[in-house]
Amino acid sequence: MGGTPPLSPLAPANFPELPVINGVRFATIEAGVRYQGRQDVMLAELAPGSAVAGVFTQSATRSAAVLDCQSKISGHSNQGAAILVNSGNANAFTGRNGAEAVQAITNAVAKTLNLPEARVFTSSTGVIGESLPHDRIRNKLADLSGALSEGAIDQAAQAIMTTDTFPKGSSATVEVDGASVQIAGIAKGSGMIAPDMATMLVYIFTDAKVETSVLQSMVSALNDTTFNCITVDSDTSTSDTLLAAATGASGVEITENSVGFMEALRRVMLDLAHQVVRDGEGATKFVEIAVTGATSDADAKTHAMAIANSPLIKTAVAGEDPNWGRVVMAIGKSGAPADRDTLSISFGDISVARNGWVDPDYNEDEAAAYMKGQNLQIRVDLGLGGGKAKVWTCDLTHGYIEINADYRS
């Protein structure tokens, strides 16, 4: 596996201090699913009455755990719920064995924690095409159950990592009708070493009291402008999973009109999404693509994603080259409406092109200096309408090739 990859230069200075979410307890353990000498399984137990919502990969070859979660996500119970995650093995493309492994684990967790099996959610991340040794996980359930504690979310963020170079966490506190509600989330994603496949896993917890349907519609809506607006290399995982759980322990009721809560949830989701990009394979630059003036928001996102996924743009960013011609190219190929003669492009606040040609005041040296920064913005105005979108990506460097080609498993 070529050893531990170096810490991403875009990593935050430290893991954030996350608040305790009343109604959730965490435990982690070393089960030896694949990795040795590190914790690789995490269990989260949710108090009776907790609501659980989720969004999942759209892949046609999604993993057994994803299929199982999807079948359970709209359910409800007053008995509580649990989330179990293992790293090291994705249990994807493992035929009938895959579903059997998920069932063996969910059944054992349900018995251990005295929960209905329909309220046990699992995720698996790591190598694909190999049978998940689910007995190694089941053998640790008694120990995991005995170790559950409210403060172990930091260790949970560590245990779900595969080749991530840093654990990812984020939180928010929001005042609702004079009472305080806490939100805390953890995520993993974007580090890969052949033959592992990236999976993005996200778990968000809150002590707010929210109905499942309201929580589901919130995370579905917010997902569109957070996790669905990031890309490292355009390759979609078989296992992407986001689960959000609301324990209700604060007693603060949240409805679909709770704008403050939704905004706090959005901030946590966006922060975690940005951290996944900042841990993108080989990344040295964090890039925001902001598209305005499109015929619709959907068209703006199509253009933004065409820019964010273009290997020519991503290599230009790596080379600190203000190559706006490649931005024109990406807009041209995206398939969404564009008119060359109303198109304007800026790098940060530097206008490089407007109305279909290079800005007469454009100074290449100034733009080249801007590109040396670590956090960059590419702005495009299409001059056609009011549609807009923002997406986030990283550059494409030798590090990406090294991680994905040079190391053999």
Task: Indicate if 199 belongs to the active site.
Answer: yes
**What are the distances in angstroms from CA 179 to CA 63, 183, 250, 251, 253?**
40, 13, 8, 9, 10
Tokens of residue 348, six digits: 């940060």
- Among residues 12, 19, 260, 337, the one that binds its own copies under rule CB under 8 A: 337
**Three-class secondary structure assignment of 4-30:** CCCCCCCCCCCCCCCCCCCCEEEEEEC
Q: Of the two residues 343 and 378, which places its CB atom closer to its own copies in the complex?
A: 343
Closer by beta carbon to its own copies, 209 or else 285: 285
Stretch 278-317: interaction string toward its own copies, x if CB under 8 A: -------------------------------xxxx--xx-
Interacting residues with its own copies between 356 and 375 (CB under 8 A): 356-358, 368
Query: The dihedral of CA 353, 354, 355, 357: what is its sign?
Result: negative
Which of the stretches 170-178, 221-229, 291-299, 321-329 binds its own copies when contact is defined by CB under 8 A?
Answer: 321-329
Q: Measured between alpha carbons, how far is 68 from 392 in angstroms, rounded to an integer?
A: 30
188-227 residues in contact with its own copies (CB under 8 A) are 192, 194-195, 197
Among 353, 367, 378, 380, indicate the residue that binds its own copies (CB under 8 A): 353
Provide the CB-side half-sphere exposure for 180 (13 A, CA): 7
3-state secondary structure of 33: coil
Say which residues have a Cβ less than 8 Å from residue 379's Cβ, sequence separation at least 6.
290, 291, 292, 345, 346, 347, 348
Q: Which is nearer to its own copies, 24 or 102 (CB)?
A: 102
The Cα 392–Cα 369 span in angstroms is 21
Residue numbers 55-94 binding its own copies by CB under 8 A: 57-62, 92-94
Query: Which of 106, 199, 284, 292 does the annotation list as catalytic?
Result: 199
- For the bound state, the minimum distance from the C-beta of residue 355 to its own copies, rounded and expressed in Å, comes to 7
- Min separation Cβ 399 and its own copies, Å: 9
Pairing status of strand 24-29 against strand 41-46: antiparallel
Residues of each annotated binding site for substrate: 162, 188, 199, 281, 404, 409
Task: DSSP for 203-261, please give it.
Answer: EEEE-SEE-HHHHHHHHHHHHHHTGGGEESSSPPPS--EEEEEE--TT--EE-TT-HHH
Determine which residue in the list 39, 122, 190, 397 makes contact with its own copies, applying CB under 8 A: 397
Give the nearer residue to its own copies in terms of CB position, either 126 or 248. 126
Helices marked H in 114-166: 134-138, 141-147, 153-159
Q: If we measure between CA atoms, which residue out of 183, 182, 157 comes closest to residue 169?
A: 157
Q: Nearest 5°: CA angle at 176, between 175 and 180?
A: 50
Interaction mask 242-281, its own copies, x per CB under 8 A:
----------------------------------------
What minimum distance in Å lies between the beta carbon of 323 and its own copies?
5
Q: Which residues are catalytic?
A: 199
Q: Which residues bind its own copies (CB under 8 A)?
A: 57-62, 92-95, 97, 127-129, 192, 194-195, 197, 233-238, 309-312, 315-316, 318-321, 323-326, 328-334, 336-341, 343, 353, 355-358, 368, 395-398, 400-401, 404-409
